Chains A and B, each alone.
Chain A
Amino acid sequence: MTKAHPWMANSVPSIQQEMLSALGLNSVDSLFSQIPEDHLYAKPFNLPPQLASEVALSRHLDDLMRKNVTCKDSLSFLGAGAWPHYVPAICDEVANRYEWQTSVFGSPTSDHGRNQAWFEFCSQIGTLVEMDFVGLPVYSWGCAIGHSVRMASRMTGRRKVLVTEVMDPERLSVLRNYCEPREMARHIEIVEVAIGADGCIDQNDLKSKLDDSVAALYFETPSYHGVIEGAPGTLCDLARTAGAEVIVGVDPLSLGLLEAPGAYGATIAVGPTQPMGVHMNAGGGVGGFIASPDEERYASEYNTLNISIGETIKEGEYGFGLTLFHQSSYGSREEGKDWTGNSVYLWALANAAYMAAMGPEGFAEIGRLIMARSRHAAKAIDGLAGCSVDLSRPFFKEFVVTFEGEKVADVNDALRKRGIFGGKDISGEPGADGQCMLVCVTEAHTEGDIARLVSALKEVLA
């Protein structure tokens, strides 16, 4: 290379020469002597040309990325696992700090600040769900479900999980991978519980399926379709009476209004972290949390890294370090442990800043606003000819629009031409009767946005 590369300090030839001389060598090739000759790849590489100049690279990235149409260019009502919530500017500032972005584990002393921020992420999730033990986040909500179902299976020694018949297919697909195929000795069976006409769990069907082979019941409130479960405590009681764990999936932004899972008897709470100060990032903003009571039988089954507050050797000073670093199966349960690794810890810092800035009143306020806006949108859409919304169901943020004649795919194509991304097409999924669209309305949507959607839909359906 003729020019030194801006990202490689030692690409200056004279420095390489000096280092080689220190080793008594003329070229680097002999340093690769461990690799047998016939392992080496000798052909030239057919790669696009180097773009070492930042201005050229920047232009290339812009040219490439401008082929996208973003949810800012367009008006979007897509949710279903990645939601268009407002990201306060401080969250970006916090997450973009160079110290945090570029580092890796470090030690409790040298990287004290990040460890404290992690602890604060866990602490704030803990108070939202009213549970005492919270792990560092996992890859996604679906992964949190997967890990917690395996936790429950190890704890109970049972190999069946009950889920609702209506479940986000993305999350369900993730869960299936965690439950292992039928051929394997440690397969966990997934059994679906019916959803009643009110969009909530059919309690009779649940009772008929709960027995001493069930490791856990998993349900969400609000559900995939946005429905708020009316009697979550009853569901928990039923499952716990059968000796099963109760895993409840919650939208953290609903928790200013909706009861905390820890308060009505859930034994494990999971949920998404993206709504709290993280951009959608084409799906790359997702993350998941796992919380439970602070009892050894739960704590010892976490696959996550866990941060504890504790004392330093200086009187009165505290620090934050790993606890329960070695996690594994216990006693008679012949299960291996899951795994951990790089996850979404940077997002946990954005989440921590978000929760701290929101405070209790912020959560209540955003909950009310989301409910009001989504209800307003649902009512207006229900008033259109050719589609309907079941307004008898209490819902949060998302609701199902059923179309009488039009196909959702066509509706969405037509909306897109008008600069609007309609909701997710859920036609053909369980619980979707006919042509259905899952519409998401958040605090980021204005009344004007809703009016635009309604009038565009009216045109399309006319």
Chain B
Amino acid sequence: MTSIGFLVNPYAGIGGPTARKGSDDPALAAQARSDGMRLTAPLRAVRAMTALVQMYPSVDILTGPGGLGQDIAPAASILPINALSHSASDTSALVAGMQGKVSLILFCGGDGTARDVAAANVSGVPILGIPAGVKMHSGVFARSPERAGQAAAAFLKDPDQPVELVEILDIDEAERRSGRLSAQLFSVARSPVARGVRQNPKAGGGDLLAETDAALAEYVRRMEHGCLYILGPGTTMGALKDRLGGGTLLGVDLARDGAIVDRDLSEEQLLMALADGAKARIVLTVVGGQGFILGRGNQQISGRLINRVGIDRIDVICASDKLNALNPQELTVDTGDVALDARLAGYWQVTTGPGRRQVVRVVH
């Protein structure tokens, strides 16, 4: 099976120009249709498709009718879906229809679309995003439409290509309307690893997965007896939690003396756990593609909690490729407490491997 599922959220990105923080509101789509607004997502989808077809002319595509894909890939087979709703349910219906029929789903949209795709993708088909949204915090997005097309072609040509787990994030719309930014880690999906066959003999990079793993092993070995460890969400933290007996991928867990002692705690529960004055450390990784270490997907680790633990007792572990992909090379904090954010800003040492750290500027 080397066919590809292709779908476009034609309305992705329309919230951007109107200074909205996303385009998830169905009313926005209706308005866009009635205003005859120029949609940008289809244009970006065309760019990705061009790159894909260039590298893999005989590619076998399965897509949805009209603006959901057919308009861009006219030669594709069409999955008939009932009534076009011009909403998230189109995405869900298409993804559901693709299950078992394709080896990769290439979608065009933003975080909201990614979230819908991931939710309907019950059999865990690898997914890859063409960036076209307002918010693109999730790790599924390629850096450009062309790269998305190329990575998809490479993956289809060689089904043994490795996949990695990436995080699907989105900003909670309800929270946003009440003025609070609070990205949530919704789920984790499989996505092709964009790895070029590089014949680059002078470089000194390492096997980054193994590096991170070894860094985690070292971290565990050095964990202080009696200290409470507040472990944030994300795949890197998930791997750390696995070493401590297993925890949650998306939640904040607590460990002590080499083992997870509690899982998926809220801010209140975390504060309670520290009530007896126990010594604690916070361990984080960089979540999503935007370089956030606090305030996206880990709001449980609040300003109050950080003040309680101590701002010099936070450790960050992150693979060097994720850090070096940041442009500019900065990490961001957004705890909601402006004064605290200012105190957190500065140069942090991020652990990237065993005995290896990289200094990165943290801004707010």
Contact = CB atoms under 8 A, between A and B. Distances in A.
Interface of A: 105, 107-108, 300, 305, 321-322, 325-337, 339-341
Interface string B213-224: 110011001000
Nearest to A108: B199
A354 B199 CA distance: 28
21 contacts: A105-B202, A107-B199, A321-B199, A325-B199, A326-B207, A327-B206, A328-B210, A328-B211, A328-B353, A329-B214, A330-B210, A331-B213, A333-B217, A334-B214, A334-B218, A334-B355, A335-B214, A336-B354, A336-B355, A337-B206, A339-B204
A173 B302 CA distance: 54
B162 to A, nearest CB: 13
Interface string B286-319: 0000000000000000000000000000000000
B201 A322 contact: yes
Contact of A327 (B198, B207, B355): B207
Interface in B344-364: 353-356
B200 interface: yes
A303 to B, nearest CB: 11
B217 A325 contact: no
Nearest to A341: B202
Interface range on chain B (Cβ under 8 Å from partner): 20 to 34
Q: Which of B198, B199, B206, B211 has the most CB of A within 10 A?
A: B199
Given A334-B218, A334-B354, A336-B356, A329 B201 contact: no
A331 B353 CA distance: 11
A322 B221 contact: no
Given A330-B207, A331-B210, 17 more contacts: A105-B201, A107-B199, A325-B198, A325-B200, A325-B201, A326-B207, A328-B206, A328-B211, A329-B210, A329-B211, A330-B214, A332-B214, A332-B217, A333-B217, A336-B354, A339-B204, A340-B204
Contacts of A327: 206-207
Interface of B: 198-208, 210-211, 213-214, 217-218, 221, 353-356
A107 B200 CA distance: 9
Contacts of A335: 214, 354
Q: Which of A105, A321, A328 has the most CB of B within 10 A?
A: A328
Contact of A305 (B201, B205, B208, B214): B201
A337 B356 CA distance: 11
Contacts of A321: 199
A45 B210 CA distance: 50
A48 B204 CA distance: 38
A331 B242 CA distance: 13
A185 to B, nearest CB: 8
Contacts of A328: 206-207, 210-211, 214, 353
A341 B202 CA distance: 7
A255 B306 CA distance: 66
A329 B211 CA distance: 7
A333 B217 CA distance: 7
Contacts of A108: 199
Nearest to B204: A339
Nearest to B222: A334
Contacts of A331: 210, 213-214, 217
Contacts of B207: 300, 326-328, 330
B199 A329 contact: no
A312 to B, nearest CB: 13
A333 B213 CA distance: 9
